[in-house]
Chains A and B, each alone.
Chain A
C-alpha cells in the first residue's frame, strides 16, 4: 500500500492539484458560503425567542399534526409508539427535556442514529414513514419565525 504514504500520495495528486484554477476556487468558496446562509438566518431568528418561552415537540405525519408534547419542565421518561396502517412503527422516547426515536421499522434508521434533540429548530425525520418531529417554541414569535425563513 505504498500510495498511502503522504509523500507518495502528494506526488500522485500533484498534477491534479495543479489543475484547480482560480475560478474553481471562487466557485467552491461561493457555494460553501451559500450553504452557511440558512444556518445564519436560523440563528438570527432564534435569537428573538425569549428564554422563558415554552418549548414543545410537534410530531407530524404526512404534514398532519399527530401529537404535541411539551418539553419544558418535563421530567422522567415517557415513550410513545406510532404505528401506521402498514404495520410500520417508530418508538419515540421523551426523557426529561429531550426527545429521540429509539426504534424504527424503516430501512435507513436515520432518525434513530441522529440521537436526542432538545433545542428549538432541531428536527428528527423518518422519510419512509413521513414522520417528522420538530422542536418549536410556544410564542407569537412562532409565526414570525416562519415568515423570516420562507423566502417566497
Chain B
C-alpha cells in the first residue's frame, strides 16, 4: 500500500512547502509584536514548515525548502542585512534541528526538536547582528528571546505533531522517511 513519492510529486511537495513558508513568513511580519523589551522577537511560525520538511523529506530536499524560503523572503521586501541575519538564523536552526532529530532518534520528540530550532534561530540571528555591527552587546537580549522561543517552539511542536498525525499524506511521507532511514542504518 505504501508507495513512495514519484519525482514529480516530490517537486510539487517541495514547492508547496516553500510557498507556505514564504506566506506564513509574510503574515507573521504583518503582526506587530507587543513586547518592547525584546526588540525583534518573533513567533517564528515559519519554523513549522521547516520542521515538517525535516520530518518528511531527505536532507537534500528539506534543505532546498529552507533555501527557497530564504531567497524568496529576501526578494519580497528585504535588504542585504536582513538577508544575512535571516540566513544565519535559518541555517543555525535548520542544522541544529536536523542533528538533534537524527542523533536523538526516538528519544527526542517533535516538541524538543522544534524548541531547539526556535532557540538556535535566535542565537544565529543575534550572532549575525553582532558580527554586522562589531559589537557583542546585543547578545544580552538572548535570555528573554530564548524564553519566548521555548514557548513558541512548544506550540509549533504540538502543531507539527498534530498535522503529521491527522493529514494522511504527511503521515505517509513521514513513514516513508522513517523506513528509508532504518534501511540506511541497518
Interface of A with B (CB < 8 Å)? 13, 16, 19-25, 27-28, 31-32, 34-36, 38-39, 42, 60, 63, 108, 110-111, 113-115, 121-123, 125, 127-128, 130, 132, 134, 149-150
| Chain B: minimal CB distance from A97 (Å) | 18
| Chain A: minimal CB distance from B178 (Å) | 17
A36 to B143, CA, bound (A): 5
Complex contacts, A23 vs chain B, CB 8 Å: 104, 107-108, 112
Closest to B158 in A: A16
Determine if A150 and B146 form an interchain contact, defined as CB atoms under 8 angstroms apart: no
Determine if A38 and B142 form an interchain contact, defined as CB atoms under 8 angstroms apart: yes
Complex contacts, B138 vs chain A, CB 8 Å: 123, 125
7 contacts between A and B (CB under 8 A): A16-B111, A20-B111, A31-B119, A39-B139, A42-B137, A42-B140, A122-B137
A125 to B126, CA, bound (A): 12
Q: A35-B146, A123-B137, A134-B137 are in contact. Are A19 and B109 (CB under 8 A)?
A: yes
| Interface SS of chain A | helix
Determine if A21 and B107 form an interchain contact, defined as CB atoms under 8 angstroms apart: yes
| Chain B: minimal CB distance from A101 (Å) | 12
Determine if B36 and A115 form an interchain contact, defined as CB atoms under 8 angstroms apart: yes
Determine if A24 and B39 form an interchain contact, defined as CB atoms under 8 angstroms apart: no
Determine if A134 and B116 form an interchain contact, defined as CB atoms under 8 angstroms apart: no
Q: A39-B143, A113-B39, A115-B36 are in contact. Are A134 and B111 (CB under 8 A)?
A: no
A122 to B136, CA, bound (A): 10
Determine if A150 and B136 form an interchain contact, defined as CB atoms under 8 angstroms apart: yes
Determine if B119 and A32 form an interchain contact, defined as CB atoms under 8 angstroms apart: yes
Determine if A39 and B140 form an interchain contact, defined as CB atoms under 8 angstroms apart: yes
Interface of B with A (CB < 8 Å)? 36, 39-40, 79, 81-82, 85, 100, 104, 107-112, 115-116, 119-120, 122-123, 129, 133-140, 142-143, 145-147, 150, 157-158, 161
| Chain A: minimal CB distance from B84 (Å) | 11
Complex contacts, B150 vs chain A, CB 8 Å: 28, 32
Complex contacts, A60 vs chain B, CB 8 Å: 133
A3 to B32, CA, bound (A): 25
Determine if B137 and A63 form an interchain contact, defined as CB atoms under 8 angstroms apart: no
Closest to A131 in B: B133
A14 to B137, CA, bound (A): 40
Q: A27-B100, A121-B137, A132-B135 are in contact. Are A32 and B146 (CB under 8 A)?
A: yes
Complex contacts, B79 vs chain A, CB 8 Å: 128
Determine if A127 and B82 form an interchain contact, defined as CB atoms under 8 angstroms apart: yes
Closest to B79 in A: A128
- A28-B150, A39-B139, A121-B137 given; 17 more Cβ-contact pairs under 8 Å: A16-B157, A20-B112, A22-B107, A23-B104, A24-B115, A27-B108, A31-B119, A31-B146, A32-B150, A35-B145, A39-B140, A60-B133, A113-B39, A114-B39, A125-B39, A125-B129, A127-B81
A13 to B155, CA, bound (A): 10
A19 to B85, CA, bound (A): 33
